[in-house]
Structure 1
């Protein structure tokens, strides 16, 4: 394999590593800069106070006269001078630290410009070398093809997982709205039992109507979620329960139609929503776990592929 392109790839990799390190250092320095800026301001205030205390003692104020009467003036002056000196030393050091940090940030920011194109250079060299390897054939080329296909397959499944997660979250949002409407209807139902009359009756109907309308939307979203799950390659050790999706609206309306006005039936409908909410939540959680695993798998495959291309 061409040693020139190998050298260029190594240089690009070194540049990428240096850029990452510089970025980490800059992040740390900028955090320190913020902290020391705050420290300098605090120490400046302390220094001002200590200098004022020294001046007040030395200027024969009432306080200094009080100390002189008890023979402790010199002791007090010495104490205040020590505190003022301590404050001055701390302040001066903080100012120097701040200037040093600013200097380091400036130097690293300038150096960083030398490496900002390294990732682009590496990507171009990587493609070039990959094409060379593929032309030469052999075991390396075969393994590169296998890895490329595996990565592509994993990325397709990752896309499907993400779409399923999005659909599941949409369904959950809709189910939450159904539950909120039912909770409101339940509240008016309680008032109705206490003699709330026509107003509570109408209000309860309004919330139930809202729940009914949203239930239709939730059922549509549950179907969509179920369809999305069909496109996902689910791991054998993961089980996703979906038996409540298809007939969610049926179970929901059973509770309402049996006795539209009874508090107990509103509770039954809430239970049917909660059951499906739990199933959707568990399904989304499983999908999120699969998403993490798939991302990890892709990462490992890409590292192996990159290593194979760089070292061949």
Structure 2
């Protein structure tokens, strides 16, 4: 199978070069558009021309019209040259793109012919084709699990953001409470705290589902969120002094820190899932290139 591996390696390099070339094409196109816009700003048909005429009138009043005209000509010439350079770079990138596409198509045709030949002459290759088919089926199932877990993870991130917003508001009202707030301040503060705690119950339920979808993947998601007990709330309402106010403020701050920590954990986990899915997609693509006899067949 050395010939198959070598041919696929060449095809992979050409595909990589095409990806780089496409980025260059996009950059050249944007550069040409910008250069053309600058150059056209010096033409008489542009809106900019009227403004230039007014500048010429002003410079003529102070005896510097000649300097202004010469500077404008130089800028226009420079813009024209830059536009030409951009056109040349774009044309070069297009030619390279065409060359790489032709090379990719040639190698793809060769690879397809070689796969067909091996399928007719090699028992080992036929066994690998069957094994690869089974692997792709498993990988696609894993992708479905990853997608489901990622969707749940995105919901968790939204919930945590909402809980942080609610606690931020509670923290602000807690600050007011320490500065001399009263019963109404406590009511508003606990309204935001209740909202955060309600959201956190959704988060905890979603985290369980998240872990179930990931199955064998082990992560230690722990928000460390502390719910405020009814006795704690009653003490705050009844005593309502600086000690209970500071205690509440500290608990809110601790919970905010815990949620920020959970947010970081979830973002890290979601990024890992994205990277894992891309890797699996790459494995599936490679398997199809090497062992799917119908791929790229006209």
Rounded Cα–Cα distance in structure 2 between residues aligned with 1:165 and 1:119: 34
| Cα deviation 1:126-185 (Å, max 9, x = unaligned) | 889867755655222222333343344334323323332332232232233223323323
- In structure 2, the partner of 1:34 is 33
**1:216 partnered with 2:201:** yes
Change (3 A) 1:240 1:188: same
Aligned length: 266
In structure 2, what is the equivalent of residue 207 of structure 1?
A: 192
Residue pairs, 1:59-138, within 5 angstroms: 63=63, 80=67, 84=70, 87-88=72-73, 91-92=76-77, 94-95=79-80, 98=83, 134=119, 138=123
Distance, in Å, in 2 between the alignment partners of 1:133 and 1:42 is 62
Change in 2 beyond 3 A, CA 1:195/1:43: same
CA distance in 2, matches of 1:24, 1:174: 37
How far has the Cα of 1:292 moved from its partner? 1.4
Structure 2: runs of 5+ lacking an equivalent: 1-10, 237-243, 294-298
CA–CA distance in structure 1, aligned partners of residues 167 and 137 of structure 2: 45
Deviation at 1:241, TM superposition (A): 0.5
Q: CA deviation at 1:285?
A: 0.8
Alignment-derived partner of residue 259 in structure 1: 232
Label 1:258 to 1:168 Cα distance change in 2 as closer, same or farther (>3 A): farther
Query: Which is higher, the Rg of structure 1 or of structure 2?
Result: 1
Q: Would you say the 8 A contact 1:175–1:215 is kept in 2?
A: yes
Q: How far apart are the structure 2 equivalents of 1:194 and 1:52?
A: 65
Query: Displacement, 1:208?
Result: 2.7
Structure 2 equivalent of residue 170 of structure 1? 155
Contact 1:178 1:211 in 2 (8 A): yes
Q: Deviations over 1:212-256 (max 9, x none)?
A: 3323322332232232232xx53xxxx5103x37xx7xx633x33
Unaligned runs of 5+ in 1: 1-11, 65-75
TM-score, with normalisation over the residues of structure 1?
0.59
Q: Contact 1:160–1:228 (CA<8 Å) still a contact in 2?
A: yes
Matched-pair contact (CA < 8 Å) for 2:153–2:270: no
For normalisation by structure 2, the TM-score amounts to: 0.61
